[in-house]
Amino acid sequence: MKVIAITGFAQTGKNTVAQYLHDKYGYSIYSFVKYIDKELRKQGKETTKENESLAGDELREKFGMDAIAKLLWSDVEKKKPEKTILVGLRSPEETAFIKKNSDEFYLIEVVADEDVRFQRRTKLDPHTKAEFLARDEKDAEEKGLGKVCELADFPVENNHDLEHLYKQVNELMEKWIGVK
């Protein structure tokens, strides 16, 4: 199975890249946060950023830093798509698990400036810039997102328009997979 994993800090555009890969190249999308949201709904809890973070932390604490990757991967294996996108890896352990279980594995880091990301925040995100950036710090240090970003095969910069973003994605697809 060919897997493209997408990582990056909040509001960089990970889902935008995933949707583009789905629409243009036919990849199936599996999202770490959507998996956590499904679990929250089962428990009757509201799907807020705080609850998502707490639920993810709880799963990782109980079952290991790669717990969410293993749970999500079981969904992937049931459907067996030829081409898969996994959005939102947070820990090196998640990355190692997915890489080990993939026939072909690529890791993209979507990056954007702090100010751009803060402007993109949703009503679910922290309201102050300090709180927004504090979440980044927590993800980087406690979950290992900083290390996952360092493992990326290719950074995609998303500070401009969609045309600029899609051009980079097309270039990497041509480079990696030979697809135009």
3-state secondary structure of 3: strand
Domain boundaries, the chain: 2-177
pLDDT in tens, 63-104: 999 999 999 999 999 999 999 999 999 999 999 999 999 999
Strands in 83-87's sheet, in edge-to-edge order, are 28-31, 83-87, 2-7, 104-111, 154-157
pLDDT in tens, 105-148: 999 999 999 999 999 998 888 889 999 999 999 999 989 999 99
Examine the pLDDT at 178 and tell me if it is beyond 80.
no
Is CATH 3.40.50.720 the right assignment for the domain spanning 2-177? no
Give the model's pLDDT for residue 40: 93
Q: Please, which residues have CB within 8 angstroms of residue 158's CB and are 6 or more apart in sequence?
A: 12, 13, 16, 17, 110, 111, 112, 116, 165
pLDDT band at 176 (very low <50, low <70, confident <90, very high): confident
The one-character DSSP state at 27 is P
pLDDT in tens, 139-171: 999 899 999 999 999 999 999 999 999 999 999
Can you tell me the distance from the alpha carbon of 52 to that of 34, in angstroms, rounded to the nearest whole number?
Answer: 9
Examine the pLDDT at 37 and tell me if it is beyond 80.
yes
Reported pTM: 0.93
Give the model's pLDDT for residue 180: 61
Matching residue, tokens 């309201």: 127
